[in-house]
Amino acid sequence: MADNDATFRPSSLNIIYSSKTSSIKKSGIANVEFKNWAETFDCKPELFFAPKTQEEVAEILELARDEHKKVRVVGCRHSPSDIACTSGFMISLLNFNKILEIDKNKRQVKVQAGMTLGDLNDSIYSHNLALPVQGSISSITVGGAISVATHGTGIEFGSISSSVTEMDLMLSNGSILTVSSDKDLELFQAALCSLGSFGIILNVTFQCEPAFNLLLRQYGLPLKDVIENLDVHISGSDHFRFMWFPYTDSVVVSHATRTELPATKDTWFRKIWTYCWDYGVGTYLPHVVPYINRFFYMTHSAFSRKIDRSYRILNFECLFKQYVNEWAIPLEKTGVVLWQLREWVETIPDLYVHFPVEVRFSKADNIFLSPALVETHVT
């Protein structure tokens, strides 16, 4: 058993399986320090594994059963919670990162669960395919996105899990269970948002659609106006969201609509890097956040227009760590919650919200643990 101190980084996975003849226990690394992306939680699993085959995953689970160890599966560490932390065995599936099958007639793609959404988006675009909706970030694994029913925005669009047609899972005894939308429906609905408690997701089949561009329009408005005309905004485009800047009464609204127009030249590079730099500073100097928010609203509230591939428009790649959580609320409570949140932010001393509050809208679904179960919701 290896006994070197290490910090989990995806780039280090290639050293873990340097010897194919090693037993599965010897392939585990001890004293790995696992931290989530925001570095708000950490742990030291007894052994850290990065298998390359399903057989190796089964061997790890057999070892865990023999030694009575708990097992956690991790992806890109983006959960703001400690749900992935364990003192037992930790398994990374980042070596499970390949597209297994593309059916162009059905527009379906079968992919391994350790592939990131970013890599998946780029790969299927070359086959003129796209997922119907995206989350705000693409640097998460397919398995991780499904485990929490990751969603984007658009009142007619569900979570990424709602685009899944079939899944292969490995159960704790090493057997493989295949569930789909047309068989074992109850198990399928449970697996589409399982928080890692329903077996290890190995492979996922997505229902895609022809690749498409989105026209994005952004501009500033008073928070009061957006809340009072929320229905108009929600129905005014395919994908509507807005960002409220705490310590102001202002928001930047984003309307994205499908278009056949070609992509426009990207002029946002400097803006995005300035954005990340200043809010990164705000993470370490929170007392300057109110000034940063006012400054960024002034610089981002002018009307802007951009056309690009769907996933590039729907993604917002944040390049600095955040201290965040996410709430799901019924659509009709949007205004009440935002006004109460505004009051809370402004009355609690020494509280600094170091990032704009992103408000998105998602279609209701029938996934058992989904935050959008039965009811259309806002996050």
**Which tens digits make up the pLDDT trace of 216-256?**
999 999 999 999 999 999 999 999 999 998 888 999 999 99
Cut 0.95: pTM above it: no
Q: Is the per-residue pLDDT at 327 higher than 60?
A: yes
Give the model confidence (pLDDT) of 65-87 as tens digits: 999 999 999 999 888 889 999 99
Listed in sequence order, the residues at least 6 apart from 377 whose beta carbon sits closer than 8 Å to its beta carbon are 328, 329, 330, 331, 361, 362, 364, 371
State residue 337's pLDDT score. 96
Mean pLDDT of all residues in 93-104: 98
Q: What is the mean pLDDT of the chain?
A: 87
Dist CA 260 CA 213 (whole Å): 6
Residues facing residue 112 across a β-bridge:
203
Mean pLDDT of all residues in 118-126: 98
Give the model confidence (pLDDT) of 346-357 as tens digits: 898 888 787 789
Q: Which of 6-20, 252-266, 292-306 has the lowest mean pLDDT?
A: 6-20
Dist CA 10 CA 61 (whole Å): 22
Q: Is the per-residue pLDDT at 199 higher than 90?
A: yes
Q: At what angle do helices 269-284 and 289-300 cross, to 10 degrees?
A: 170
State residue 244's pLDDT score. 94
Length of the chain: 379
Listed in sequence order, the residues at least 6 apart from 123 whose beta carbon sits closer than 8 Å to its beta carbon are 99
Dist CA 97 CA 124 (whole Å): 14
Dist CA 315 CA 341 (whole Å): 25
State residue 277's pLDDT score. 45
Q: Is the per-residue pLDDT at 2 higher than 90?
A: no
Is the distance from CB of 76 to CB of 138 less than 8 angstroms? no
The more confident residue out of 39 and 58 is 58
